[in-house]
Amino acid sequence: MAVDDKPRALTILDLLEMKQRGQKITCLTAYDASFGRLLDQAGIDAVLVGDSLGMVVKGEESTLSVSMDEMVYHTRCVAKATQRAWLIADLPFLSYSSSDQAALNAGRLMREGNSRMVKLEGGRRCAGIVKHLTEQGIPVCAHLGLTPQSIHQLGGFRVQGKDRDSADRMLEDARILEAAGAGLLVLECIPRELASEISRNLKIPTIGIGAGNSCDGQVLVLQDLLGIGLHPTPKFAKNFLCGESGIDAAVKSYIKAVQAGEFPGLEHGFE
Ligand code: KIV
């Protein structure tokens, strides 16, 4: 605790040191101030204002309709209530098609939304944009595997990187994004062996969702953890509210399970 009793805000260096020490990083999504504060006070390490808000807040079938204004609004709400957690905000669909557009929109998430890092989806095609943003002091989290903004190109919410060629390409993409300056990497819905290989080959922390428990950290959509999602709960998620006395206890139980390497279990992953 700092002298004024405010918890010290975690930095990207803290997350890097956690990977080096083998300490798991815990992350959850939030979209408003109440949940932002609850997660922060429960001791979560990172909060992601994900464009999953398109599905869990707006009730859409995908994340594609989420606008920059909506991302800025929800990021600002969460930022108001988070003190310790590292705050990441998603750049929504088609908001980073060029380096200039990405810098403008990442700037909005940082200046108007008060996020500390922006997240974008995609492999080597995003390397130039990651480089451009990080050169200007904007921390970037990359996102590989099942990238929901490309859902129609991928043919649905399906596990990625299952054959050797696509696995090799993803590993190479991860290396390219790290070299371009990415500070974190989300790995979504990929075989646990591939996630483990990518995590071992990178210096930056990997945060998994449906990617096995060898990643350096884990993230879940908050509504999935509480069992209140509008869509069927994905195989990789677990209802932590079941058997707990309330939301705060459920979040603490998730944090404990991730830190102990108990979540995700084998049943939450993919071969
Ligand atoms: O939008 C989101 O919530 C995400 C997580 C599922 C990683 O990208």
The pLDDT value recorded for residue 231 is 85
The answer to whether the beta carbons of residues 213 and 195 sit under 8 Å apart is no
Q: Is residue 2's pLDDT more than 60?
A: no
Region 153-159: what's the mean pLDDT?
95
Please identify, by atom number, the ligand 1 atom nearest to the C-alpha of residue 121.
8
The pLDDT value recorded for residue 252 is 98
Region 124-149: what's the mean pLDDT?
98
56 CB less than 6 Å from ligand 1? no
Ligand 1 centre from 221 Cα, in Å?
A: 7
Q: Is residue 95's pLDDT more than 60?
A: yes
The pLDDT value recorded for residue 5 is 75
The pLDDT value recorded for residue 237 is 97
pTM for the whole thing? Answer: 0.97
CA dihedral 116, 269, 235, 30 (to 10 degrees): -10
Q: What is the pLDDT of residues 42-61, one digit of tens each?
A: 999 999 999 999 999 999 99
186 CB less than 6 Å from ligand 1? yes
Q: What is the pLDDT of residues 75-84, one digit of tens each?
A: 999 999 999 9
Give every CB contact of residue 156 below 8 A, 6+ residues apart in sequence. Answer: none
The pLDDT value recorded for residue 238 is 96
The catalytic residue positions are 188
- What is the Cα–Cα distance from 235 to 213, expressed in whole angstroms? 14
Q: What is the pLDDT of residues 234-269, one digit of tens each?
A: 999 999 999 999 999 999 999 999 999 999 999 999
Domain annotation for the chain: domains and CATH numbers: 3-268 (3.20.20.60)
The pLDDT value recorded for residue 4 is 64
User: DSSP secondary-structure letter at 104?
Assistant: H
Q: What is the share, in percent, of the chain residues with pLDDT greater than 70?
A: 99
Q: How confident is the model at residue 232 (pLDDT cuts 50, 70, 90)?
A: confident
Residue 160 exposure: Cα atoms within 13 Å on the Cβ side: 25
121 CB less than 6 Å from ligand 1? no
**Measured in Å, how far apart are the chain's first and last C-alpha atoms?**
42
167 CB less than 6 Å from ligand 1? no
